Structure 1
Amino acid sequence: MIKMCVGCGINFRNDDVKRFSTAVALMNTIDPPQLFFKLLNHILLKKLSSENQSFSSLEKERLLETFPMIKNDKLLVLLIDGCSYVFEQALYNALNPEKLFQELTESQSGISETHAQAFQEAWRVKGREYMNTAKEHTLGGPVVLENFDWRLQMQISESDLSKMKIPNVLFEFTTLDYQNKNTETMKPKEENIVVEFTKEELYGFFTKLEAIQNQLDKIS
């Protein structure tokens, strides 16, 4: 993981570095920044749409006419993806507009100050609505957790010298797959998944859950 920003950090994977750098270069070519703000606002409106959140061929054609510095459809998609990525990271880190601007300017993101201001203003206008919309949708896909149970189990480790009891915890997660329904009942397909944790693994798991809860609390 490479940090793109300081503090809580907008970040991206190693294999995304080149694509994002190209997207940033495209962002910085859009002048005046007010024109860039219109693009950002358009992207956020798409994300708030309850229907198709991707740009149609006609919409892309119109955007290419509005932004002649973006030479083709492939570069336009790269630009949109780069802008969307910044907004998604702002959502994940629950950044307010001022913090987003700070993250973009006090880092090695490459985004110019004037274009960072456009991100700040677009996030000020639509950021809260985007956060509220995101809370109402599951982001992980059609499979959701329905229920869970757990039990403690003791394993006996034998050696030449002694017997040692090793405590483990078994979790049974019940999930529902809304895209695969039971042909007889037409209800979502149910699956039980059993996961075993050692004491150390369980501690690490709950530490991550706590971090997730902190992020949700920031958005709420």
Structure 2
Amino acid sequence: MSTTKPVEVVNGISADALGSIAKRLIRRLGDSSFSRLLDEDEERQAINTLKINEADLNALVQFSAYVFEEAAYQTQEPDSFEAHLNESLGVLPKHASVMRNVWESEATAYIGRLREKHLLGSKILSDTTWTTHLCVATSDDDPASTKGPPRSKSDKKNTQATSVFNLHMNNDSEPPLAIEFSHQELYAFFQKLQDIQHGIDSLSS
């Protein structure tokens, strides 16, 4: 990600150029036939045309993909989408208007592709519950443990705490998805979530 804020990159190019690249990007979002949103030749052409560097182009692509994906999940109306870009994210009015026009013309097809890939629809997280468990295993359960000298009480027990998360979907007919973590696994999982949150914050700040 460029050190330049993505919104500054968006505002720094012409509105017409933004509309052109945004339309190309949204037509490829959710389309599995494209391995990447812009191929190498298109990236070089965009860098030369927009007079920006590769890092800024990546920021522009990621920002555009982010706002379109967010709008799709929220099924935003064009006016609401434009207001969000301008008032919440700081996109210039003319640039926000261009993005609005792209969203208005391409949203139906884009959301349709997402539905086909099951990214939208019934499986939406509605609630999360969790419980903790303490598993205790004793060496007495092992026949081999009766051999040899007596062990101390601390040697005979091995405890491990685990957490079980139940992910409830908005479809009540489906049972919740249960995921069990050890302490180390849970820590690593939340570290990954924190990295994802930082990435989202960098796009929306």
**Among residues 87, 90, 99, which one is paired with 2:68 in the alignment?**
87
The equivalent of 1:209 in structure 2 is 170
SS at match of 1:131: helix
| Matched pairs, number | 128
Asked if 1 retains the 8 angstrom alpha-carbon contact of 2:9 and 2:60, the reply is yes
Asked if 1 retains the 8 angstrom alpha-carbon contact of 2:72 and 2:111, the reply is yes
The equivalent of 2:42 in structure 1 is 59
Report how far residue 123 of structure 1 moved: 0.3
Matched AA of 1:40: A
Matched AA of 2:116: E
**Among residues 20, 24, 27, which one is paired with 1:45 in the alignment?**
27
- Counterpart-to-counterpart distance in 2, 1:46 and 1:82: 15
TM-superposition CA deviations, 1:137-196 (whole Å, max 9, x none): 0349xxxx9xxxxxxxxxxxxxxxxxxxxxxxxxxxxxxxxxxxxxxxxxxxxxxxxx78
Task: Go from structure 1 to structure 2 and tell me whether the alpha carbon gap of 1:114 and 1:48 turns closer, same or farther (over 3 Å shift).
Answer: same
Larger Rg: 2
- Counterpart-to-counterpart distance in 1, 2:11 and 2:55: 17
Higher strand share: 1
Structure 2: tracts of 5 or more residues without a match: 124-163, 172-205
SS at match of 1:52: coil
1:62-211 aligned within 5 A:
62-68=45-51, 70=52, 72-107=53-88, 109-139=89-119, 209=170
Asked if 2 retains the 8 angstrom alpha-carbon contact of 1:20 and 1:82, the reply is no
The equivalent of 2:16 in structure 1 is 34
Matched AA of 1:29: G
The sequence identity of aligned pairs, in percent, is 22
Structure 1: tracts of 5 or more residues without a match: 1-17, 146-194, 198-204, 211-220
SS at match of 1:115: helix
Task: Go from structure 1 to structure 2 and tell me whether the alpha carbon gap of 1:20 and 1:85 turns closer, same or farther (over 3 Å shift).
Answer: farther
Query: TM-score of the superposition, structure 1-length normalised?
Result: 0.52
The equivalent of 2:152 in structure 1 is none
Report how far residue 135 of structure 1 moved: 0.2
